[in-house]
Amino acid sequence: MTAGPAARLQEVGLRYGRTVALDAVTLDLPAGCMAGLIGPDGVGKSSLLALVSGARRIQAGRVEVLGGDMASARHRGAVGPRIAYMPQGLGRNLYPTLSVFENIDFFGRLFGHGRAERERRIAELVEATGLAPFTDRPAGKLSGGMKQKLSLCCSLIHDPDLLILDEPTTGVDPLSRRQFWELVAHIRAGRPGMSVVVATAYMEEAAQFDWLAAMQGGRVLATGTPRALMERTGAASLEAAFVALLPEAEREGHRPVEIRPFAGAGGEEDGEAAIEARGLTMRFGDFVAVDKVSFRIRRGEIFGFLGSNGCGKTTTMKMLTGLLPASEGQAWLFGQEVDAGDIGTRRRVGYMSQSFSLYSELTVRQNLELHARLFNMPAAAIPARVAEMARRFELAGILDTLPEALPLGQRQRLSLAVAMIHGPEMLILDEPTSGVDPVARDGFWRILVELARRDRVTIFISTHFMNEAERCDRISLMHAGRVLVSDTPAALVEKRGARNLEQAFIAYLEEAVAEAEGPAPIPATAPVPAAKGAAQTLLASPPPASPSPRRGFDIRRMFSFSRREAMELRRDPVRATLALLGSLILMVVMGYGITMDVEELAFAVLDRDQTTTSRDYTLNIAGSRYFTEQPPIADYDDLDRRMRAGEVALAIEIPPGFGRDVARGRAVQVGAWIDGAMPSRAQTVRGYVQGMHADWLAQRAAQGPGGGVTAGQLFTIETRFRYNPDVRSLVSMVPAMIPILLMLIPAMLTALSIVREKEMGSIVNLYVTPVTRLEFLLGKQLPYVLLGMANFLLLVGLALFLFDVPLTGSFPALAAASLIYLCAATALGLLASTFLRTQIAAIFGTAVMTILPATQFSGLIDPVSSLEGAGAVIGNLYPTTYYVTIARGTFSKALHFADLRGEFLPLLLAAPVLIGLSAALLKKQER
Amino acid sequence: MRLANIGTLGVKELRSLVRDPMMLVLIVYSFTLAIYSAATAMPETLSRAAISIVDEDRSPVSARIAGAFYPPYFLPPVPITQGEMDGRMDAGLDTFALDIPPDFQRDLLAGRQPTIQLNVDATRMSQAFTGSGYVQTIVGEEVAAFARRYRAVETPQVELVLRARFNPELKPSWFGAIMQLINQITMLSIVLAGAALIREREHGTLEHLLVMPVTPFEIMTAKVWAMALVVLLASAFCIALVVQGLMGVPIQGSVPLFLAGAALHVFATTSMGIFLGTVARSMPQFGLLLILVLLPLQMLSGGSTPRESMPEFVQVVMLAAPTTHFVSLAQAILYRGAGLSVVWPKMLMLAVIGGALFGFALARFRESVARIG
């Protein structure tokens, strides 16, 4: 294994659109050791690792991993199970609604471990990582450090030879970070042949690795051991070495940050208090996010906050800004008590939130102006203030640029300028420098120091970087909602007798964790020694039956995807609601909304005859179920007014002398005004009135002595409304709506389930595990087919019991057709998901792909035979057409299997064709 | 001061919208092409209906009947035998099957009142009902015209004169254009307001606004007025250019009065959009919720089928929906030329519903803001 390099890259290039991520990189990553890629965000580290892991498609150059070409699908298939890849972002390859156990179990199933084997391995892994007490907790509710440990467990379940870790400790507290690395070290001790490749932005960590490659701008600046890099540049620290390695142009203007000591650097009681907090507490339900935090910050001081993600730093800061009302405790800004409802306090504070949060649609200038206005600065003063900010924060050249086009460092300066626009006396900065490269970070800090020392602005800042913490006048360490300690950095190091600030913090954290958990079986302080034994027993002994994953179609892998999908669906209330309730709601809505029955229409009569004959004519209309009579119309004005107001849909005018003329057989005209505003209704009304008029005539002819023969009496037409004798709209619509609902919702949910993975990042599991495309697709599809069948039963129940539509034909035939149809509908969703990228696109894309063809071209309203052109072609291909015929046939026409053979055949073809197409289009690698 | 904030924030919303090409395309599409195509694609009630004829008479009159069915209302009739009829109807090949009995012509001329059987596939509601009326009329006319050559036939003495008001030719596109416009107004105002809120939350800018001296009321009001303005402007253009200009639909009443009603409606629907924006935790959830909310609003408002034909409870429930009142207001003003004296109760209802939705959304919004941490 150690013979060649773990991975060899030759002239590898990669670009996203016009952005160059990797520029002809040639690099050998050594095997059997810890190899690190260092550099700030966005220099190509992640892209390089994605290429090595096989998750991303190679665009240019050659990548050889574990002795084979990664461009070859065959080699990827063979070598894939030997590589473990942990992508960037906390727990990005995990499923947040699944528990710790379920997550690991899912990966175990993918690699084909049997039940006993899986349980043994999971038990050992959670033991080794200290996750054992939390196996039932959903991954989404774990802290950052725990997520990363879980992610590591998932990666290690199949004994990889090459472990690829992409920024595994970004955003993780120092203690968890150390535990993580010790865990990796012990696993390596157990499997000496294993190569580990890590990308990191923490230079302190990288200093511990065996071999490093420094990257910048898609290129490799230098490689070698950490010591060699430092010697080469003559730098004292790795960070300084990295800056020294940068090309001249990028290093330009870089000066080390110098800090004059804080003027009031005496005891804590000295100076005026800018911020004072006493017993600040924040509870979200049962969860205590901030627990009795107290501190005191003096005017003009730079005060640092350190701690892991989710330890309460952000919440504390929000309480100070007045964003959140504290559950308990008090805080004072400049001696005034903070009140969340008091808008006045907000004017004295500038706040910069964790992520870039300015309007990316507004230019730099517009952003500055907007904030100035919202802080109610006088309009006349704004241009001057904007200009001043631009000068001070070096934004003058980019005032009319959109923030999106700017590098991260400049964006952070803009955020700071916006926070400073109204001249606040205090700045609250929540992790302002994460992701910013060292040179830009130093520039940022120079501005901060100037603000604090020259303008006496009080700065309250949170950070993950130790060297930034060292620059603060005083720092507080937070853990689990509590402040552990506050003091000057030097004093803290001294107090613990530690080598440096990081060691001091870890010591404090360990103490706090031990206190919190007591002598529990798996205290988080202990996992390191505990892990040693466990990890070694786990990984030193070759696993007894680690089966080499089967290359072809494996039904177990397919089911593991189905199982997981079903679990996720159960835990997502909005999707589950849509899946079950949504179709019922829509069925009711459409059942009543697309009705074509016209009943109980308002009509009124302008009877200017007032004889028995005229009343007889009126009664003939009023007696039908279609019309309800309103008070009679007085005159033409009344008629006009009531029709305009929409009170009557039909007005009948009977002329004076109507009765007399009818009796004498003289020609006479009855007037009917129909409200034409709604044409379909008007047309139906016209039909009804004509029919009733003819009826009335026939009755008269039958009663009285007729003269000649009228046209109506020459012959009769006997109309038989078949299948639906009462011509009820629901009988016609309900069986046709089931196909539409069974198309729309299953297709959308299936498409969402895959596109969601693309958006959340867990799609990477398809790229780097031995699962095949067909297993993945069918596995994803199965739960939705079953869900669709449940839906089908509900809809049939609704049709039978709420809408009273009888099922006259064969239920088995209908159910069988539904199952086949659902396979086709979900397959259509799969097909859509192969080219849609975001969830919102998936919703609208599948809606477009299903609603129009299903409602317009499949015979719901107009029969397919009546369609022309493209509509007719789509109608004849679309599976809904055939299922509509089957549904109507079984519901209304009393048909059975044998009568519907012609419709089953096209349905049976649709699903395999669609699934095959999806499998062909689905990418097994990211582009 | 507060008004200034609402103004500034609203202008910011408009600026953001201008920079979002997808939304702009959506707006332009919804108010032009979507309306035009949906309105003109609305089929005449009967079009290319499939009919077959079992001709057991094979006489001049039966040939005459068969020759009277032709496109666009009917497909050319298919001659079939009586044995084929049931099978073809079961398979859905024909909507109508006409059975002319043997000796029809002889009986007709002998005054024996023979009977023609018309079979209708009543599962095809759209064609079945009006279509059978057409078939009866066509057959009746052909037979009468044939008979008139041989014997005296009287025209009925009482004539029914039918006039359709407001849309004399009953063109479906007139109706469709306005109803589509209403649907688009409803959809866009909900989408724009809801998406604007969710985008701010996803980008973290909402939190940023809240650390400034700005209240949730100001933020929400700014979104409502900005998005309402966009939708109203688009509707005004659409009425002038697409509905009146391109499609030539005559508008009876006052367009400003309609726009005033639309403003009240949009006030209600943008508030609803913001409410949905606070319920949905992400854009995808918003999309799913939108489908569940929008369809009932559109389909049960009386814009697609008459309200009178819906069950009592649906009618009552839908009185709480702004679309119901807006649809009836729009029909009254635009088709029937009704004035303020007729439509004021509907405007009042819209204002009440809008106020309630706004208050409800604001309460939700305040609550969700407090939980932002």
pLDDT digits (tens, 9 = 90+) for A313-371: 888 888 887 777 788 888 888 777 877 666 777 788 888 877 667 888 888 999 899 98
Is the pLDDT at A663 greater than 70, yes or no?
A: yes
**B168 contacts chain A (CB < 8 A):** yes
ipTM passes above 0.85: no
**Chain B residues whose beta carbon lies within 8 Å of the beta carbon of residue A893:** 90, 123
Distance from CA of B122 to the nearest CA of A (A): 5
Q: How far apart are CA A846 and CA A836, in angstroms?
A: 9
A693: chain B residues, CB-CB within 8 Å: 158, 160
Determine the pLDDT at residue A788: 92
Structure tokens at A132: 């054992």
Q: A with B: how many residue pairs have Cβ under 8 Å apart?
A: 386
**Chain-chain contact of B152 with A708 (C-beta, under 8 angstroms):** yes
Q: Grade residue A522 by pLDDT with cuts at 50, 70 and 90.
A: very low
CB-CB neighbors (< 8 A) of A756 in chain B: 284
Edge-to-edge, what's the strand order for the sheet holding A34-38? A83-86, A162-166, A195-200, A34-38, A211-216, A219-224
The residues of chain A that CATH labels 3.40.50.300 are: 7-251, 273-348+425-487
Confidence of residue B309 (pLDDT cuts 50, 70, 90): confident
Among A316, A327, A360, A361, pick the best mutation site for testing chain B contact (most B Cβ within 10 A).
Answer: A361
Q: For residue A73, give Cα distances in angstroms to A80, A676, A767, A773, B92.
A: 10, 66, 11, 13, 50
Q: CB-CB: which of A598, A693, A863 is closest to B92? A: A863
State the Cα–Cα distance between residues B38 and B52, nearest whole angstrom.
Answer: 31
Question: Could you tell me the pLDDT band of residue A710, with boundaries at 50, 70 and 90?
Answer: low
Distance (Å) from the alpha carbon of A95 to chain B's nearest alpha carbon? 17
Asked if B122's CB is within 8 angstroms of A721's CB, the reply is: yes
Q: Are A835 and A818 in contact (CB under 8 A)?
A: no
Inspect the interface and report whether the beta carbons of A359 and B12 lie closer than 8 Å: yes
E strands present in chain B: 51-55, 78-80, 96-100, 115-121, 158-165
SS3 A495: helix
pLDDT of residue A341: 64
pLDDT at residue number A818:
96
- Cβ-Cβ contacts under 8 Å, B89 against chain A: 722
Locate the chain A residue with the closest alpha carbon to B299. Answer: A593
What angle, 0 to 180 degrees and rounded to 10, lies between the N-to-C axes of helices B2-18 and B216-237? 50
Contact B104 A715 (CB under 8 A): yes
* B108 inside 8 A of chain A by CB: yes
Which architecture, in CATH terms, is A273-348+425-487? 3-Layer(aba) Sandwich (3.40)
Strand partners, A330: A278
Q: How far is B151 from chain A (nearest CA, A)?
A: 9
Judge: A600–B125 Cβ closer than 8 Å, yes or no. Answer: no
What six digits make up the tokens of A428? 């609250």
**CB-facing half-sphere around the CA of B110: CA atoms within 13 A:** 7
Tokens coding A795: 């809809």
pLDDT band at residue A435 under the 50/70/90 scheme: low
Measured between CA atoms, how close is A604 to chain B, in angstroms? 15
pLDDT of residue B261: 94
Q: Is the dihedral of CA B41, B43, B48, B49 positive or negative?
A: positive
Out of B113, B205, B370, whose CB is closest to A359? B205
Closest residue in chain A to residue B219, using alpha carbons only: A374
DSSP code, position A899: G
Q: What is the distance in angstroms between the Cα of B93 and the nearest Cα belonging to chain A?
A: 7
pLDDT in tens, A449-473: 888 888 888 999 988 778 888 889 9
The overall average pLDDT reported for chain B is: 85
Task: Among B117, B130, B135, select the one facing A687 at the smallest CB separation.
Answer: B130
| Residues of A with Cβ-Cβ distance to B124 under 8 angstroms | 732, 863
User: Once rounded to an integer, what is the mean pLDDT over residues A256-285?
Assistant: 71
Q: Cβ-count burial of A337 within 10 angstroms (0-12 exposed, 13-18 middle, 19+ buried)?
A: exposed
CA A627 to chain centre: 52
B300-312 per-residue burial string, b: 16 or more CB within 10 A, e: under 16: bbbbbbbbbbbee
Q: Which two tokens stand for residue A871?
A: 């509509």
Instruction: Say whether pLDDT at A529 is over 70.
Output: no
User: What residues in A contact B162, CB-CB < 8 Å?
Assistant: 672, 674, 686, 689-690
Compute the average pLDDT of residues B158-184: 81
Asked if A710's CB is within 8 angstroms of B335's CB, the reply is: no
B345 at interface of A, judged by CB pairs closer than 8 A: no
Nearest chain B residue (CA) to A659: B158
Q: How far is CA A110 from CA A85, A550, A557, A768, in A?
A: 14, 10, 5, 11
A727 and B125 within 8 Å at the Cβ level: the answer is: yes
Choose among B43, B139, B287: nearest Cβ to A717.
B139
Ordered by where they begin, the domains of chain B are 2-42+168-370 (no CATH), 51-148 (3.40.1710.10)
Residue of A nearest to B206 (CA): A357
Chain centroid to CA B146: how far? Answer: 42
Rounded average pLDDT over B257-268? 94
**Residue contact A593–B161, C-beta within 8 A:** no
CB contact under 8 A, A679 and B304: no
DSSP for A87-118 reads: -SSTTTTS-TTSBHHHHHHHHHHHTT--HHHH
Distances (CA, A) of A616 to A343, A605, A648, B160: 75, 12, 20, 15
Query: What are the chain B neighbours of A597 within 8 Å (beta carbons)?
Result: 309
Q: What distance in Å separates the CA atoms of residue A468 and residue B125, rounded to the nearest whole number?
A: 75
Question: Which CA distances in Å does A49 have to A13, A23, A758?
Answer: 13, 14, 18
pLDDT of residue A332: 85
Alpha-carbon gap, residue B302 to B324, rounded angstroms: 6
Amino acid B154 reads: E
Closest residue to B306, CB basis, from A347, A376, A681: A681
Whether residue A670 and residue B161 make contact (CB cut-off 8 A), yes or no, is: yes
Closest Cα to residue A830, out of A883, A783, A793, A880? A783
Sheet of A668-675, strands arranged across: A627-629, A601-607, A650-654, A668-675, B158-165
Residues of B in contact with A689 (CB under 8 A): 160, 162
In chain B, the largest separation of any two C-alpha atoms, in whole Å, equals: 95
User: Cβ contact (<8 Å) for A593 and B157?
Assistant: no
Are residues A330 and A278 in contact, defined by beta-carbon separation less than 8 angstroms?
Answer: yes
The nearest CA of chain A is from the CA of B257 a distance in Å of: 15
Domain with CATH 3.40.1710.10 in chain A: 601-705
Find chain B residues with C-beta within 8 A of A725's C-beta: 122
What residues contact A137, with CB distance under 8 A and at least 6 apart?
A99, A100
Residue positions counted in chain B: 373
Q: Find the helix or strand (DSSP H, E) in which A332 lies.
A: strand A328-333
Which whole-number Å values give the CA distances from A207 to A32, A38, A187, A372, in the listed order?
18, 10, 19, 45
Helix, coil or strand: residue A147: helix
Which chain B positions have a beta carbon within 8 Å of A361's beta carbon? 15-16, 18-20
Res. A245 pLDDT band, cuts 50 70 90:
confident
Q: Which CATH architecture has domain A7-251?
A: 3-Layer(aba) Sandwich (3.40)
Weakest-pLDDT range from A142-146, A439-443, A711-715 = A711-715
**Record: contact B48-A866, CB cut-off 8 A:** yes
* Chain A partners within 8 Å of B126 (Cβ): 596, 861-862
| Interface contact B213, partner A, CB < 8 A | yes
Which of B153, B165, B215 has the CB atom closest to A676's CB atom?
B165
Give the residue on A whose Cα is nearest the Cα of B312. A592
A593 contacts in B (CB within 8 Å)?
295-296, 299-300, 304-305
Per-residue 3-state assignment (H helix, E strand, C coil) for A380-427: HHHHHHHHHHHHHCCCHHHCCCCHHHCCHHHHHHHHHHHHHCCCCCEE
Contacts of B159 in chain A (CB under 8 A): 667-670
Share of chain B above pLDDT 90, in %: 29
Residues of A in Cβ contact (< 8 Å) with B347 = none
Mutation site, B103, B158, B180, B312, interface A, largest A CB count within 10 A: B158
Residue A177 has pLDDT above 90, yes or no: no
Beta strands A482-487 and A349-352, pairing class: unpaired
What 3-state DSSP class applies to A177? helix
Chain B residue with the nearest C-alpha to that of A725: B122
**A790, HSE (Cβ side, Cα atoms, 13 Å):** 13
Residue A699: enclosing H or E segment and its boundaries?
helix A679-703
pLDDT exceeds cutoff 50 at A895:
yes
Please tell me what DSSP assigns to residue A162. Answer: E
C-beta separation of A316 from A290 below 8 A: yes
Q: What is the dihedral of CA A196, A200, A205, A209, to 10 degrees?
A: 30
Q: What percent of chain B has pLDDT over 70?
A: 95
Eight-state DSSP code of residue A715: -
pLDDT > 50? residue B100: yes
CATH number of this structure's domain A601-705, picked from the four choices 3.30.450.40, 3.20.20.70, 1.10.150.170, 3.40.1710.10: 3.40.1710.10
Provide the whole-model pTM. 0.79
Of the pLDDT bands very low, low, confident and very high (cuts 50, 70, 90), residue B228 is very high
Strand-by-strand arrangement of the A60-65 sheet: A19-29, A7-16, A60-65, A68-69
Taking the C-alpha atoms of residue A654 and residue A672, their distance in angstroms, rounded to an integer, is 9
